[in-house]
Amino acid sequence: MSDLFENVEKNMDALVSEWTNDSYLNKNDLFVIGCSTSEVAGEPIGTAGSERVAEILFHALKKLQQQTDIHLAFQCCEHLNRALVIERDTWQQYSCEEVSVIPQPDAGGSMASFAYKQMDKPVVVEAIRAHAGIDIGETMIGMHLKPVVVPLRFNQQNIGNARITGARTRPKLIGGKRATYA
């Protein structure tokens, strides 16, 4: 198992470097994380959650947050309707709809449960409209991204055994052929 943990840490360091070296994130952006720690460990989604894997991922994502000044939102699993764990100050800034639940490893997922325990003042919200995000293990974060979603291709394509997909969003293009876009 220690090889898995070392590999996950190395993979996350590489991914965080790619996010910070590109100009995809702006100060105060909402960044959604969907994660199956089971998939990271090489098991089917929802079958082998790991708070140790969640811990490694969380600390790497906190580094990304510190380097880019973004807000993190950790998506729960389908047992909590993919609600999200965020800090109270993020909730206040973005006026999200709060729900009453505390994520657990078997109802919310190991990643969301670990994030909830680590945050200063966690709040669970029903939905957000994030500017960017990362999906680790194909947990489907699309419902929490603003339109229009632009997939990102990174050199780091896996975290442990889980495939990753990054995404950012851009404003809608409106107005047709006469319009000028920024």
Beta bridge partners of 167: 133, 151
Q: What is the pLDDT of residues 84-138, one digit of tens each?
A: 999 999 999 998 999 999 999 999 999 999 999 999 999 999 999 999 999 999 9
Residue 1 pLDDT = 64
Cβ of 37: how many Cβ atoms within 10 Å? 31
The domains of the chain, with CATH numbers, are 2-19+26-170 (3.40.50.10360)
Residue 171 pLDDT = 92
Percent of the chain clearing pLDDT 70 (strictly above): 99
Host H or E run for residue 13: helix 2-21
Residue 177 pLDDT = 80
| DSSP strand pairing (158-159 vs 132-136) | unpaired
Beta bridge partners of 35: 136
Residues 6 or more apart whose CB falls under 8 angstroms from that of 33 comprise 57, 61, 72, 73, 74, 75, 111, 133, 134, 136, 141
Q: How confident is the model at residue 175 (pLDDT cuts 50, 70, 90)?
A: confident
Whether 35 contacts 139, CB under 8 Å: yes
Percent of the chain clearing pLDDT 90 (strictly above): 91
Whole-model pTM? Answer: 0.94
Q: What is the pLDDT of residues 15-50, one digit of tens each?
A: 999 999 988 999 999 999 999 999 999 999 999 999
Give mean pLDDT, residues 69-97: 96
Q: How confident is the model at residue 179 (pLDDT cuts 50, 70, 90)?
A: confident
- DSSP letter string over 69-86? T-EEEEEP-GGGTT-EEE
Give mean pLDDT, residues 56-72: 98
